[in-house]
Amino acid sequence: MSDDNSQIIVPPETKEKKENSELQKILQEVPDDILFQAIAERIQQEPKKEFKKVIQTVSEQSFSGPLPPPSMLGQYDSVQDGFADRIVSMAESEQLHRQSLEKKSVEAAIKTESKDQNYALTISLLIITGALYLIDSGNEISGSLLAGGTLTGLAYIFITGKKKDTDSTP
């Protein structure tokens, strides 16, 4: 015995909960910027009406460093077994790579500095040898000026070079 005019009576609380859950599903599908713009326009049009507050909670976690915190690593493993191990091994290989680059950089700087010092020594010895030859061949003034100028220049470079090195260190 069905009556076409009969309606199912739903308690008000259940009906309201059902409407709220349907409204929440719809609101989740609408992009945030459009939703905020619509709410702002509605408030401007009818400022005296009270509106239900829409509260959205955004949770954000961040970390610094090559590895996420252990709790997050566990979450990666829950997606697929072995993800956490892959992330840790990736961080380890990145660290080894970084250390190898730093080592190469330091070794290259030492090699360049050593080569520069050898060139400076060779040039200085050649100039001093030339100055001694001039003095021995009877050109004492020219030889003395060449030797004195060379030694003065070397002393200046040595002193100012040391000051620059100490100024640049933190």
What's the mean pLDDT when you consider all of the chain? 78
Which of 114, 119, 146 has its CA nearest to residue 133? 146
Q: Angle between the 70-79 and 83-136 helix axes, to the nearest 10 degrees?
A: 120
> What letter does residue 64 receive in the DSSP assignment?
-
Give dist(CA 125, CA 22) in Å, integer. 91
The domain spans of the chain are 10-48
Confidence of residue 74 (pLDDT cuts 50, 70, 90): confident
1-7 contacts, C-beta under 8 A, 24 or more apart: none
pLDDT by residue (tens digit) across 101-125? Answer: 999 999 999 999 888 888 888 888 8
pTM (2 d.p.) = 0.46
Q: What is the pLDDT of residue 1?
A: 45
Confidence of residue 53 (pLDDT cuts 50, 70, 90): low
